Structures are given as C-alpha cells and as structure tokens.
C-alpha cells in the first residue's frame, strides 16, 4: 500500500532542516521523493527521514510512503492523495507560512492508520500525539534550525538606566547527525550582541552572554544592554544584532538584526506594556 503527497514548499523553509517523522506500523514504510529512496534513521520509537535536500529549493515535491504487506498484491491496495498549499498556519523562524492540512488516508482495518501530515515547527509545544514515546501512530513533518539561532527579538527601553531591555527567542536543532558528536543539548550556548548605528558604521556597544546548556529546543532570554559603551547620548535610530552559537565557538547563522527608533520603543515601567517587535526580517 502507498500514500502519495504533493508538498508545496514555502520560501520560509529555506535554511531549515525538515524531517518526516513516522511512528506506529507505518514506521517500516519505504519513503521516496520522486521515486528516489530516502534513507531513514531510528529516533526513539520513531523513524525519521531527512527531507531537507529534497525540499530546499521551494516548489512542489512528490513524496511517497510505501508499506509492504505479506499476502497483499500491489493492485488495488494503494492509496493516492494530492494536496496543495493553503489552510493551516505554521510558525517558521518567526514568519508565517501557509501550508495545507494534509490528512492521511485511513486504510481499511487491520491496516495501520497514519495521523495528519502537518509540518510542526520545533518551537511549538509538543502535543501528546507528537510525543516520541506515545503509542499513538503519527506521521508528520518536523521543522528545526540547521544550527543554534535567534528566532525573534523584542525591545523595550529604560531611559533612567540608559539601557535597552531585549527579549530573545532562541532555538537549537533537535540533534546533529554526526556520529560520535556530543549531544547538542549538552553543549553550552552563548549569545553575542552588537548595538550599531542604523547604517552599521558605528559600533555603540558589544557584549557576549553565556546562556548555558539548552535541554529544551527553544528558550526565551531577557537581557539588559547599555545603549552606549561610553555613556554617550542614546542613538535616535539604531540596529541590534544578535547571534547564538556554541560557547566554545562555531557559527551556524548570520546575526539576527532588529532596527528600531528609540523614541518609539515602550518603557519597561509602563503598566501592562509588552516588549514590542520593531524589526526587519532577514
């Protein structure tokens, strides 16, 4: 039996690792992209297939999952479905992309019943059905950063302290596929910040902050940053760059930039004020 999907890939998925996760009886299925087999690997009770290379350039990709059963001929046993983009929203790197609600077919009992094939960003909470230890059959896409990175930045100001309050949304990959490599959740992380003039010509302040190990895949961190290293007048228009990396080095991304006008930022002392995002997406 076979399930076929046409996946239309939004541009926001570029620079993101994309895995097909299969749990349950469909775990033993063979996976093909345009009839080319994709190697899988076991991850707990699931089998994961790295689709990144097949989906990296956008467009539409044909994805097949073929499950062999003894005593069943191929004729009439296949299930074919095609879905186009549109419908459900998925948060990918702080941006919204429209993707389809691709509902898998339920083969007649006693065949396995795959669940909904939905892209699931690693920044979203893990539901019970997506728990790798859950006995519930599951088929879905997992979006995860290629390396440690900053997903989002929100800013407020403290004029009395002459500081910016910056809230960072951080993310790391689920794992690294390097034999013998140290598990990524055991590697200490560091956040590197640069405050520059809006045109980038003047460096106003620079600092590094040890974040420590990230057993979770996402973390929210709030830091204070003086808006001038030499106690100068605050910049009217500036840009903050943030880069998340391993503490011992190793950069996997370019710095995340947020351009802002100081007078438009909310005060940290304003009752009920929330950090306001005033950025330019890369």
Q: For residue range 67-109, list pLDDT tens digits in order.
A: 876 544 443 333 333 322 222 232 323 322 222 332 332 332 3
Q: How far apart are CA 61 and CA 34, in angstroms?
A: 7
DSSP state string for 158-200: ETTTTEEEEEEEEE--S----TTPPPGGGS-EEEEEEEEETTS
Residues 126 and 258 reside in one and the same domain: no
Domain encompassing residue 94: 2-145
Q: What are the two backbone dihedrals, phi and then psi, of residue 186, each rounded to the nearest 5 degrees?
A: -105, 0
> Which CATH number does the domain housing residue 254 bear?
2.60.40.10
Residues 220 and 254 reside in one and the same domain: yes
Residue 85 falls within a domain, yes or no?
Answer: yes
Among 97, 130, 145, the domain boundary falls at: 145
Residue 278 falls within a domain, yes or no?
Answer: no
**pTM beyond 0.85:** no
Residues 44 and 140 reside in one and the same domain: yes
Residue 272 falls within a domain, yes or no?
Answer: no
Residues 11 and 121 reside in one and the same domain: yes
Residue 270 falls within a domain, yes or no?
Answer: no
Residue 282 falls within a domain, yes or no?
Answer: no
Residues 120 and 172 reside in one and the same domain: no
How many domains does the chain fold into?
2
pLDDT digits (tens, 9 = 90+) for 26-43: 888 899 887 888 988 888
């Amino acid at each position: 039996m076979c399930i076929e999907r046409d996946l239309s890939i939004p541009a926001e998925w570029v620079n993101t690792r994309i895995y097909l996760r299969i749990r349950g009886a469909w775990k033993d299925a063979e996976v093909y992209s345009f009839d080319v087999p994709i190697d899988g690997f076991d991850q707990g009770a699931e089998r994961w297939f790295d689709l990144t290379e097949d989906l990296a350039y956008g467009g539409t990709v044909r994805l097949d999952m073929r499950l062999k059963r003894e005593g069943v001929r191929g004729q009439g046993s296949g299930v074919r479905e095609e879905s186009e983009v549109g419908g459900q929203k998925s948060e990918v790197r702080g941006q919204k992309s429209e993707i389809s609600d691709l509902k898998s077919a339920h083969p007649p009992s006693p065949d396995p019943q795959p669940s909904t094939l939905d892209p699931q960003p690693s920044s979203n909470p893990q539901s019970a059905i997506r728990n790798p230890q859950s006995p519930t059959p599951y088929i879905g896409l997992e979006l995860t950063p290629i390396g440690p990175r900053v997903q989002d930045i929100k800013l407020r100001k403290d004029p009395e302290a002459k500081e910016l309050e910056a809230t960072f949304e951080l993310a790391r990959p689920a794992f690294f596929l390097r034999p013998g490599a140290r598990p990524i959740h055991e590697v200490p992380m560091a956040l590197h910040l640069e405050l520059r003039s809006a045109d980038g010509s003047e460096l106003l302040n620079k600092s590094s902050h040890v974040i420590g190990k990230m057993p979770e895949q996402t973390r929210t961190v709030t830091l204070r940053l003086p808006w001038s290293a030499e106690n100068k007048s605050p910049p009217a228009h500036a840009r903050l760059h943030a880069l998340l990396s391993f503490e011992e080095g190793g950069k996997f991304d370019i710095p995340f930039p947020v351009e802002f006008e100081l007078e438009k930022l909310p005060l940290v002392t304003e009752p009920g004020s929330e950090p306001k995002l005033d950025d330019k997406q890369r």
